[in-house]
Structures are given as structure tokens and as C-alpha cells.
Amino acid sequence: LALLLVSKAMTVFISSIVRARGQLYWLVKINALFVFIFETVLGWFTVVILNLGLFGAWGVMGLDESFKTLVHSHKLKKSTVKRHL
């Protein structure tokens, strides 16, 4: 469970930088997509179909945060700073 906190912290940190660079709409779209795919569909599959219970839900949460960290990091490397004067 403690390992989930590391991926969550990295996601929050990197997404804050992406948000500060003016990419809020992209961030909302990606987070909504990942919540639907991972936490809803894959979470249901691991808990109900595979019968993994809480461990399955925690595993899906870890995957969700890890993939969001990777996607946000990739976006951060490709993005530029938007300046509003």
C-alpha cells in the first residue's frame, strides 16, 4: 500500500507542473480517460471477475497512477510554456 503513495505523489507533482504550463484541458481529458479505463473497467474486472477483492483494487490504483505518471512525464517533456501577457 505504501508503494501506491509513491506513484500517487509523482503523479501529483508532475501533473502540477503540466498544469502550471497551461495544459489543463489536456490534463483533464487524460485523467478522465484513465479513471474510466483503469478505475472503472479494470477495477471491476479484477474485483468481480478475477475475485481479487481489495488487493485487485489496490493493484489497479497503482497501475493507474503509474501510467498517468508516465503519460504526464511524456507530455511535460514535449510541452512548452504558454505565456499570457
pLDDT digits (tens, 9 = 90+) for 64-74: 988 998 998 88
Pairwise CA distance, residues 5 & 81, whole Å: 29
* pLDDT, position 42: 93
**pTM value > 0.85:** no
Pairwise CA distance, residues 68 & 16, whole Å: 12
At residue 9, does pLDDT exceed 60?
Answer: yes
Q: Rounded mean pLDDT of 8-27?
A: 86
CA distances to 35, 46, 55, 82 from 16, rounded to whole Å, are: 18, 30, 28, 15
